[in-house]
Chain A
Amino acid sequence: MWIYALHRLLYAIPIALGVSVICFALVYLAPGDPVQSLIPADATEEDIAAIKRLYGFDKPLVFQYFDWLGRALTGDLGTSLQTNRPVLEDVTRAFANTLAIALIAVTLAFAVAFTLGTLAAYNVGRPIDRIATSISTVGVSVPNYWMGIVLVIVFAVNLRWLPATGMGATGSENFDWLDWDSLKYAVLPVVTMAMIPLGVVTRSTRSAVADILSQDFVQVLRAKGLSNTRILVHAVKNALPQILAVMGLQLGYLIGGSILIETVFTWPGTGLLMSKAILTRDIPLLQGTILFLALTFVLINLIVDLLQTLVDPRMSRA
């Protein structure tokens, strides 16, 4: 098991490097001269010369990449063209906000989906199974950015129960987990965000639990006269690692793909930051955010895999 863990850990390094190459290449994908995309429009000649030196645009590409990587590794992701603040500072502040709603959303989705999926697996073909399957199909089919708008119409405009957008009455950018005045702004974004993981996790729980219920050892347990609840415990114990892995991946998708939902709710997380960076063509900010989020996703995948081996030693032999 430890050998597997070490393998997995070492394997994450080339992946992370590959991710950094793609993020580095993005600047060259941007239309126009890469220097142009890195400097504000009103930059002076000296500014341009300074940027060119700083980024080493006079050197070959490979050297430029390693220079950039070296700076990125020490936490220097460049400076935002709009705010002139270090990119890393903006990204980490926004990341805390994204992480907050993503964590709540994935927990909520898991609680509902796990119950629904297990119920469905115990009642294959019955109405409860049909309902669970329909919910999961809708969850993965609904455009969540549109659902966010619908929720705003219903709960913020018509019923006036919850605030429509933003993160606090005063436009504060610090999320407080324990204060309802702060928390209520997160309700609609969280519910919207939970839709896709709800659909995916319900589906995988249903198939994982149904699969285990059809195995021989469950027949033996039944023959031994175990109650349904006791059998459920066995089934859940066997299905859980697999479902937790799916959920971990979903958390990664939520964090990396929060841009649509954060745009709908003007939630000041990494997604909204990217959205702003795209609108203002703030390439350093965009590149830094993408690198940060992609590396987070690599890290989440690594943690999920390692945890799964820890919980379920069968995995490392596969």
Chain B
Amino acid sequence: MPADATITTAQAGAPAGPARRGYWSSVAERLRHDPVTVFFLCVILLAAVAALLAPVLAPHDPYETSMLKRLKPVGFEEHPLGTDELGRDMLSRLLYGGRVSIMMGVLPVLLAVAIGGTLGVLAGFLGGLVNTAIMRVMDVFYAFPSVLLAVAISGTLGGGIASGLVALTLVFIPSLCRVAETATSQIRSVDFVEAARASGAPTHSIIRAHVIGNVLPPIFIYASSLVSVSILLSAGLSFLGLGVSPPVADWGAMLSSLRQAVYVQPLVCALPGIAIFVMSLSFNLVSDGLRHAMDVKA
């Protein structure tokens, strides 16, 4: 729970006390003493920038094939990370692939936060029948293992980025909705919300002024832990042939098409998997670090 304004004003009155410190600056302070989180945060930022700047950074055209230069090892001529089964430059494809893979890690979670979070706050705040209706529907989606639900939706829709996005968003909505619902119903019975209600404040302004600020940190922390899952799942869908259509580069799809070549170039074939692993690990560790720094129990 964020340190609220009363504590800050109390501290401001003490002359010799520490400088006036808000919630966010104490979070930043705690992060400064956590080199692991900061390091992996930098890894994520670097990867995101590299993917965004792929057209500038990529040494080759990611779609340019070459029959003569198929499956060359790491460090071959002007291909620092070798070439794939069609002679395309691996470094360029990994950079371009990062665009799809990172986007598919973040976007479904953001959509699910918007939809699941809203539903959860409504369910938690309004309670009663609305709560029952929303939460029971969520329970049904919860009754599917996440991989199964993602494959089921994406598989019947016929694959592709859009169906993957729909599938993953649907996978994440129920759990985010639950987190939001729990946090909201806890805050609903807290004194200052009761007071606001007793003084006649309208529902939407209570939600805006009191609920959102207190519900967002747990949702944010939970959502950040889902990004890693989303990266693994979306790459998994691509790996199954349910992601981008060739020749578009995407780490999961690259891993799948390079699988046949593990006997020839094991290291080159392992590269897309390493990229997925590093991103998923980074998001996991950053999420853990933020949880500690923001002091959220979830």
**Partner-B contacts on A (CB < 8 A):** 14-16, 18-19, 21-23, 26-27, 29-31, 137-138, 140-143, 145-147, 149-150, 152-153, 157, 252-253, 255-257, 259-260, 263-264, 274-275, 277-279, 281, 283, 286-287, 290, 293-294, 297-298, 301
Q: Which of B148, B153, B270, B280 has the most CB of A within 10 A?
A: B148
Q: Which secondary structure dominates where chain B touches chain A?
A: helix
Tell me the smallest distance from the CB of A264 to a CB of chain B, in Å. Answer: 8
Tell yes or no: B129 within 8 A of A by CB. Answer: no
Tell me the smallest distance from the CB of A150 to a CB of chain B, in Å. Answer: 6
12 A-B pairs in the complex with CB atoms less than 8 angstroms apart? A138-B281, A140-B228, A145-B236, A146-B273, A146-B277, A150-B270, A257-B147, A274-B151, A279-B241, A281-B158, A283-B156, A294-B148
Cβ B148 vs Cβ A293 within 8 A = yes
Tell yes or no: B298 within 8 A of A by CB. Answer: no
Tell yes or no: B5 within 8 A of A by CB. Answer: no
Residue of A nearest to B157 (CB): A29
Cβ B145 vs Cβ A252 within 8 A = yes
Tell me the smallest distance from the CB of B168 to a CB of chain A, in Å. Answer: 14
Partner of B280, one of A27, A141, A275: A141
Chain B residues positioned under 8 Å from A23 (CB to CB): 152
What is the interface residue range for chain B against chain A?
35 or more
Partner of B139, one of A18, A275, A277: A18
**Partner-A contacts on B (CB < 8 A):** 136-137, 139-141, 143-148, 151-153, 155-159, 228, 232, 235-236, 239-242, 255, 259, 262-263, 266, 269-270, 272-274, 276-277, 280-281, 284-285, 288
Known A146-B255, A157-B262: A297·B144 in contact at CB below 8 Å: yes
* Inter-chain pairs besides A137-B285, A146-B255, A293-B145, 4 sampled, C-beta below 8 Å: A29-B153, A149-B255, A150-B270, A274-B151
Number of A-B contacts (CB under 8 A): 136
- Whole-angstrom CA separation of A150 from B272 in the bound complex: 12
Cβ B144 vs Cβ A19 within 8 A = yes
Known A149-B270, A278-B240: A286·B263 in contact at CB below 8 Å: no
Cβ B240 vs Cβ A259 within 8 A = yes
Known A150-B270, A257-B145, A257-B146: A26·B280 in contact at CB below 8 Å: no
- Whole-angstrom CA separation of A255 from B145 in the bound complex: 9
Cβ A149 vs Cβ B148 within 8 A = no
- Whole-angstrom CA separation of A293 from B232 in the bound complex: 21
- Whole-angstrom CA separation of A289 from B41 in the bound complex: 40
Closest 5 CB pairs of A and B: A146-B273, A256-B145, A257-B147, A18-B140, A141-B281
Chain B residues positioned under 8 Å from A15 (CB to CB): 139-140, 143
Residue of B nearest to A199 (CB): B284
Cβ B151 vs Cβ A253 within 8 A = no
Known A141-B281, A146-B273, A149-B273: A31·B157 in contact at CB below 8 Å: yes
Tell me the smallest distance from the CB of B191 to a CB of chain A, in Å. Answer: 25
- Whole-angstrom CA separation of A146 from B266 in the bound complex: 12
Known A14-B136, A143-B232, A143-B280: A260·B143 in contact at CB below 8 Å: no
